[in-house]
Every structure is written in structure tokens, then in C-alpha cells.
Amino acid sequence: MDKNGLGHVIEFVRNDYLCKVLFINLIIHKKMVSYKDLGLVNTKEMFAKAIKGGYAIPAFNFNNMEQLQAIIQACAETKSPVILQVSKGARQYANQTLLRYMAEGAVEYAKELGWEHPQIVLHLDHGDSFELCKSCVDMGFSSVMIDGSHLPYDENVALTKKVVEYAHQFDVTVEGELGVLAGVEDEVSAEHHTYTKPEEVVDFVTKTGVDSLAISIGTSHGANKFKPEQCTRNADGILVPPPLRFDVLEAIEKELPGFPIVLHGSSSVPQEEVATINKYGGALKDAIGIPEEELRKAAASAVCKINIDSDSRLAMTAAIREVFALKPAEFDPRKYLGPARENMKKLYKHKIIDVLGSEGKAE
């Protein structure tokens, strides 16, 4: 075969290979759902504005329709940007396909409520594997968290980098984590906390390319964030938790000036909701959260995302228990889920206006 003939063969093989690659990519992308088509946004611009403005974005977890309605109503009325968080367990509970349409519906619902330009993120909370994060990216999430904090440092870096490289192809933002929070929430649990080491943050962010970093400065998951022996008691006998380690936060800010920082486990565990639950048959003992004044201080720093889940659960449960106790003949779900939705909405608005300072930041 002469050189020209060989060249034609090589060109044919090359073109055939490219066609196959393009075909495979077409199949892959056909299955994918872009968050942009759902009307969602990622966290990049949202976080930049929050850091500059000295406030934090509320990151509210949801599992069902009533929680989602309450979040959207609260944010539409206050014009607050919001991050809708879904844990691995919540995704399994609600179904990934339904979640996609719930998120799209949330955007349209916000517009119906008069929020002309809603800024809504759909975020995976505590993703524990590359496969889970990839699946969420492919199903329309605009942001994912890969939590490799339980792994040795180098393995955390490698896993986080892998997720970042995949997600950034589709303009999906990624949150990583350094340090370990104590407590239990869904499938995330740890007996002891480990504070984030400020000396590691630059290396971690540089090597992984993450868009934000969750840190450990003393917050904790769940409604029982601290053991009684870790706390003091005030004059009313209420537990007072140990203060957050703002010195660690300040050291991290010094290492990473202007970089988006995230606080997990930041529910304040409203004592009035705990009291209502216990009054009507509950058994929440020594439930204690993060004082709101400390969260206000954090929101004024580089902390631009604050996660709140347990408070919503408490508000919902308190309202439902009260209806069941006062109206024992009631069996219409709307009659107890409706008040639960209203109680959650009240809580969300309080957090937005009085704690995080995000009211009016998404006109």
C-alpha cells in the first residue's frame, strides 16, 4: 500500500473513532439534565456577593413537599437566595426523578409568588462517593458536596479532586470538607469532632479546586449537639454549649482570604419547639444547639453558607404533635401538615431576617 493509501486508512480510522466518541458523548449528554434548564443557579456568584456583603446564604434541608413549600414561601417573601439541600438519605426517600421536578417546580412556584428572579441552588449535602456526586450532577443538581473528611488527608484530596474535575465540566460547583463534626444526622455520624487545621486549607483548596470549604469549629449535627458534661447551665437550668472556635475560623480566613467557608450542623434547636414536643408526648432530653448570636457573628465573616436542618424538623414535629394532642379525632393530613408548614415557614423567615442577614439579597 502506498503512502497515500495508508494515509486514507489512518484518516478513516481516526474519523471512525471520533464519530464513536461523539456518539457516546451524545448518548451521555442526552441522559443528563442541566440545572440551567431547570432554572437553578450554582453557588459561585451567590457566595461572592455574600462574602462582600457580610451575610450568609441559608442552606435548608428538605425531604418532602411541605418543607419545600415553606422554604420557597419564606424566601420569596423575603427575597433571599437559598440553597435547597438534599442528603443521600433524603434523595433515596424522595426519589431522584421526583426531586428533579420538585426543584424545577420550586423555581416556577417562586415566580408565581412574585419572586421575579429567584436564586435557588439544588445541592447534595454530604455526598459520600464519586458515584453519588456524579449521579446528582447528571440529574440536575447545581452544586454538590463531597465529604471525604473521614478519610486520610491524601485520600480526601484525591476523592474531592475527582468530583471537582467531573462537576466543573458542567459548571456545577463543589463543596469539600476538612475537619470532622460530631453528632448524628441521617447517615452522617461521628462520636468526636476534629477541628479543621488552618495549615492544611491552602494545600487542600489548591490541589482539589473546590469552590467552597466546610470547616469544623465546634458546630455539630443533630438536635443533641453536645453532651451535658460539655456544657454549663444558665439560671433557668438550660444547657449552654461551649463557644465556637472563632480563633480557628480567623486563622483559616487569614490563610484563604475571601474564600467561601461553610458551617454545617448550625441549627440552634429552639427551646420553644423542644418544649412543645415534650409537652405533647415527646422525649427530647438535653436538646441543645448553636446560639444564634454566634451564627450572626459567623455570617458577618467569610462564612457564606450556613446549614440548618434539625430546626426545621423540630418545628414540623412540634406543630404536628400539638394537632394530634389537641385534635385527636383529626386524620386529614392537610390539617396537621398545613400547620407544620406554617411553623417551618415562620422559622425560615426568622433565620433569614434575624440570623443570616440574607433578606433582600435576591431581588
Q: What is the CA radius of gyration of the chain?
A: 23
Residue in 117, 77, 124 with CA at minimum distance from that of residue 99 = 124
Residue 17, Cα to own-chain centre: how many angstroms? Answer: 41
DSSP assignment of 64-98, as one string? SHHHHHHHHHHHHHHT--EEEEEEHHHHHHH-HHH
Distance CA 21, CA 309 (A): 43
DSSP assignment of 101-128, as one string? HHHHHHHHHHHHTT-SS--EEEEEEEE-
Would you state the torsion angle of the CA atoms of residues 59, 61, 65, 67, taken in this order, to the nearest 10 degrees?
-80
Measured from the Cβ of residue 294, the count of other Cβ atoms closer than 10 Å reads: 20
Choice among 125, 128, 138, 147 that is catalytic? 125
Measured from the Cβ of residue 340, the count of other Cβ atoms closer than 10 Å reads: 23
Is 138 a catalytic site residue? no
Q: Which residue has the cell 449528554?
A: 29
Distance CA 115, CA 119 (A): 9
Distance CA 288, CA 108 (A): 36
Distance CA 268, CA 289 (A): 4
The catalytic site residues sit at 125
